[in-house]
Chains A and B, each alone.
Chain A
Amino acid sequence: MFNYYLRLALLSIRRNPILSALMVAAIALGIGASMTTITVNYLMSSNPIPQKSDQLYYVQVDSWDPNEPAEEPNEPPEQLTWTDANNLYAAQKAQRQVIMATTAAVVEPPSQDAKPFNAYIRLTTNEFFPMFDVPFLYGGHWQASADKGREQVVVLSRKSNDKIFGGENSVGRSLRLAGRQFTVVGVLESWYPAPKFYDVGTGAFEEPEDLYIPFLLKEELQLPNGGNTNCWKTPEDDSFAGFLRSECINYQMWVELPEEQDKQAYLAFLNNYANEQKALGRFPRPLNNRLSDVMQWMENRQVVTDDARVMLWLSLMFLVVCLLNTVGLLLAKFSGKSAEIGLRRAIGASRQALFYQHLVETACIGLTGGIAGLALAYLGLLGIGSLYGSFADNLSSLDINMVLLALLLSLISSIAAGLYPTWRACSIAPASQLKSQ
C-alpha cells in the first residue's frame, strides 16, 4: 500500500506543481536557515578532545592591577606573564605541562622554486603534542632537552610540509626561519581541532599554526608578539628583555591533571606560588587563581558567541513561520482534493487509509524540502565560514550527523505541519462531496 500512496503522492505533487514548489521552498528555507545555525552552534559547542577534556586545565593566576580586575566581575587575567609562565613551567608540578605563545616569521624553503613566505608559528614546549593528542605523519615532537637548550628544531603542519617539501618525509631536512637554520623533527597529520581549544584568544575557529618551535626561542631570537598582549603597568624599559620582565600578559599555560586530587594539589601549588610572588612585591590583588578544564574554558571564553545563540533562536522561529506557511498551503491543497477524498471514502477507503495517504504526501514534500534545505545550509555554512573561520572545510566528520538531523528535522516538521490539514481532509464526510459538481 505504501508504494500506492507514494505514487498517488507524486501524482498529487505534479497536479499542483506551483503549490508544491512553494511548500518545498518554504520548508527548504526554514530547514536551510536552522540547519546553518544549528551546525554553527553544534560545532562551536562540540568537545574538541573528548577523551581527556576533563584532565586538561587552563592555568590562570591573578597578577593584575590592585585597583581593577583584569575582567569584570573579578576574573583573573586571561593569559600569563613571561615570568609566571616560565616559573610555573620550571616547577614541573603537573603530570604534563605546556607553555606557549604565537609569533610569526619568514620561512625560506630550501628549494629554489618555492618563494619565502610569512608563517604563523606556535612557540611551545615539547609536551604540547602528547598532551593534546596531536597526530604525527612523520617523525615526532622534540625532547625536553631541546626546550632547555633552545635548539632550532621545528615541527611542520601537514599543509606547510606540502608547501615547503612537496609532501615528502622531511624529517632531518632543514629550512631557514627568521634568518636561522632549523631542522625538521616532525610533520603533523591533518589536525583541525574545532574549536581550536588550546588557544581561543586568536579566534576559536582559526586554523592551527603552520610551524611549531621551542618556546624559549622567543627570547633567543627576539620573536615578535602574536595574539593579544595586555599590560596593566607599562614596562620599565622598552627593550625586548624589558618587555619579557614586565607585567604584560601574552602567554598561555595548560596542565594535565588526571585525578581530582592532582587538581587540588596543583591549585594549592598555584596559591603558594602567588603568595611567594606577593612576598616579592608582585600580585597585589587577593588570591584568585584558577584551573578550568577544556569545556569550562570554552564556556568562560564564550566560544559559542551570543550572536550565534541568538541566530539559532531566530532561525528556529523562522522555521516555525515557514511551517505555518506550509500548513496554509497544505490546507489549500487538500481542500482542492476534497472531491477525490469524498469519492475515495465513498468507495471504501477508511479514514485511516486516507490519513496515511496524505501523510506520505506531506512526508515526500518534507523530505524534498529537507534535501533542498541541506543544499541551502551548505551554502549558508560557506558564507558563515568566512565569518567565523574555515569551518566548512573541516566539516567532514560532522557531515553525516548533520545530514541525518536535517532530514529528520524536515520530516518531523513537515509531518507536524501536515497533521492538521490531513486530519481536516480526512474528516470530510464521504457523502458531502458527491453531489453534482
Chain B
Amino acid sequence: MLNMQNVTKIFRTDLVETRALSDFNLHVKEGEFVTVTGPSGSGKTTFLNIAGLLESFDDGVYDLDGENVRHLNDTQRSRLRNEKIGFIFQSFNLIPDLDLFDNVDVPLRYRGFNGSERKRRIERCLELVGLANRMKHLPAQLSGGQQQRVAIARALAGEPRFLLADEPTGNLDSKMAHSVMQLLKDINDEGTTIVMVTHDPSLAREAKRNIFVKDGKVSDVTHISASAPEPIASISASGARHV
C-alpha cells in the first residue's frame, strides 16, 4: 500500500538546513493500523505530510498503491489525495461557516459526485460518527470531540483506502480520545489502512504496529497482537522494512 525507501526531506531556510527525514524507510500493508510515535521534532508530521502528498521530498522513492508519486503534477496529486487518502488533523480544521453537512461535503465536491450520491455518503458518515442528528449545526456549536468526529466523517466520506491522522486526539481528553480511537479501530476493521501519529503511548499500543521515529528515521518497530500488548520485536534503524 505505502512503501517509502530512503526518503529524505530537507527544509531549507536562509540560515539553516533541517533534515526532517533522512533515509526514512517504511512499508505499510493494506489493512494495517500503524501508529507513529517519537519525540517532538523527530519528523512525524513531515513523514505524514509526505505520505499524504501534501509535501514533496528531496530524495528516495515513495510508491503509493504501487504508483511512484515523485513526479506527479499538482492536479494529479490533488486527485490522488482526493480519491485515495483521508486526512484527520490535530486541530480539526473544520470550515467555521459551513454546517456539518457542508463540511463533510467538501472533499466530495472536488470528487465530482452528483447531489444524491453526496447526500447518501454524508448522511452515512455522519451516522457512523454519531452526529447524524446535528447535520445543520455549525462547528462552533459542537464540543471538541464532536468536531473531531466530524473531521473523521469528512475523511471517510470519500471512502479512502488510506487514512492519515496527525495526533487526532491531541486536543481531546482521554475519554474522548479513547472513543475516537475506538472509532478509528472500527474503521480499520472495515478494511481501511490507517497511519496515525500520536503522543499517547496507551493509544499507540492499541494499534497493530507502532513505529518509533527519531531524528528523521524509523528507529524502532513494535508489533502488537491482541494477546501480547508488550513489545515483541526491535529492528535497527536501517532495517525498518519488514515482511
Using a CB–CB cutoff of 8 Å, the interface residues on chain A facing chain B are 1, 4, 11, 14-15, 339-340, 343-353, 429-431, 434-437
Contact B74 A348 (CB under 8 A): no
Contact A350 B93 (CB under 8 A): no
Contact A437 B78 (CB under 8 A): no
Complex: A430 Cα to B87 Cα, angstroms: 12
Complex: A346 Cα to B90 Cα, angstroms: 14
In the complex, besides A343-B93, A430-B54, 12 extra interface pairs with C-beta distance below 8 angstroms are A14-B97, A339-B93, A340-B95, A347-B106, A347-B107, A348-B78, A348-B81, A348-B82, A348-B83, A350-B74, A350-B78, A429-B54
Residues of the B chain whose Cβ atoms lie less than 8 Å from the Cβ of A343? 93, 95, 106
Cβ distance B55 to chain A, nearest Cβ, rounded Å? 5
Complex: A343 Cα to B110 Cα, angstroms: 13
Residues of the B chain whose Cβ atoms lie less than 8 Å from the Cβ of A4? 109
Q: Which of B67-111 contact A (CB under 8 A)?
A: 74-75, 78-79, 81-83, 86-87, 89-91, 93, 95, 97-98, 106-107, 109-111
- The digit string for B20-53, where 1 denotes a CB below 8 A from any CB of A, is 0000000000000000000000000100010010
Residues of the A chain whose Cβ atoms lie less than 8 Å from the Cβ of B97? 11, 14-15
Complex: A345 Cα to B78 Cα, angstroms: 7
Complex: A347 Cα to B171 Cα, angstroms: 21
Greatest chain B CB density within 10 A among A14, A339, A346, A347 is at A347
Q: Known contacts A431-B49, A436-B90: does B111 contact A348 (CB below 8 Å)? A: yes
Contact B98 A348 (CB under 8 A): no
Closest residue of chain A to B55 (Cβ to Cβ) is A431
- The digit string for B183-194, where 1 denotes a CB below 8 A from any CB of A, is 000000000000
Cβ distance B234 to chain A, nearest Cβ, rounded Å? 31
| Residue from the list B78, B83, B98, B170 in contact with A349, Cβ < 8 A | B78
Closest residue of chain A to B56 (Cβ to Cβ) is A429
Complex: A94 Cα to B72 Cα, angstroms: 79
Residues of the B chain whose Cβ atoms lie less than 8 Å from the Cβ of A340? 95
Interface residue? B154 (CB, 8 A): yes
Interface residue? B158 (CB, 8 A): yes
Complex: A316 Cα to B82 Cα, angstroms: 45
Q: Can you list 17 A-B pairs, Cβ within 8 angstroms, ordered by A?
A: A11-B98, A14-B97, A343-B95, A346-B87, A347-B87, A347-B106, A347-B155, A348-B78, A348-B81, A348-B82, A348-B83, A350-B75, A350-B79, A351-B78, A352-B75, A431-B54, A434-B166
Complex: A348 Cα to B83 Cα, angstroms: 8
Closest residue of chain B to A350 (Cβ to Cβ) is B78
Complex: A1 Cα to B75 Cα, angstroms: 17
| Residue from the list B93, B110, B166 in contact with A348, Cβ < 8 A | B110
Complex: A392 Cα to B98 Cα, angstroms: 46
Residues of the B chain whose Cβ atoms lie less than 8 Å from the Cβ of A351? 74-75, 78
Contact A435 B45 (CB under 8 A): yes
Using a CB–CB cutoff of 8 Å, the interface residues on chain B facing chain A are 45, 49, 52, 54-55, 74-75, 78-79, 81-83, 86-87, 89-91, 93, 95, 97-98, 106-107, 109-111, 154-155, 158, 166, 170-171
Complex: A353 Cα to B45 Cα, angstroms: 26
Complex: A14 Cα to B98 Cα, angstroms: 12
Closest residue of chain A to B52 (Cβ to Cβ) is A346
Contact B75 A344 (CB under 8 A): no
Contact A346 B54 (CB under 8 A): yes
Contact B82 A347 (CB under 8 A): yes
Residues of the A chain whose Cβ atoms lie less than 8 Å from the Cβ of B166? 434
Contact A1 B52 (CB under 8 A): no
Complex: A434 Cα to B89 Cα, angstroms: 7
Residues of the B chain whose Cβ atoms lie less than 8 Å from the Cβ of A437? 91
Greatest chain B CB density within 10 A among A340, A348, A350 is at A348
Residues of the A chain whose Cβ atoms lie less than 8 Å from the Cβ of B81? 346-348
Cβ distance B95 to chain A, nearest Cβ, rounded Å? 5
Q: Known contacts A1-B109, A436-B90: does B98 contact A429 (CB below 8 Å)? A: no
Top 7 nearest A-B pairs by Cβ distance?
Answer: A348-B82, A431-B54, A350-B78, A431-B49, A347-B107, A348-B110, A436-B91
Residues of the A chain whose Cβ atoms lie less than 8 Å from the Cβ of B111? 348
Complex: A339 Cα to B79 Cα, angstroms: 20
Residues of the B chain whose Cβ atoms lie less than 8 Å from the Cβ of A349? 78, 82, 110
Cβ distance A336 to chain B, nearest Cβ, rounded Å? 12
Closest residue of chain A to B105 (Cβ to Cβ) is A4
Contact A436 B170 (CB under 8 A): yes
Cβ distance A349 to chain B, nearest Cβ, rounded Å? 5
Q: Known contacts A339-B93, A353-B110, A436-B91: does B75 contact A348 (CB below 8 Å)? A: no
Residues of the B chain whose Cβ atoms lie less than 8 Å from the Cβ of A1? 109
Residues of the A chain whose Cβ atoms lie less than 8 Å from the Cβ of B52? 346
Cβ distance B71 to chain A, nearest Cβ, rounded Å? 17
Complex: A429 Cα to B46 Cα, angstroms: 13
Complex: A430 Cα to B110 Cα, angstroms: 15
Residues of the A chain whose Cβ atoms lie less than 8 Å from the Cβ of B158? 348
Residues of the A chain whose Cβ atoms lie less than 8 Å from the Cβ of B98? 11
Residues of the B chain whose Cβ atoms lie less than 8 Å from the Cβ of A345? 54, 78
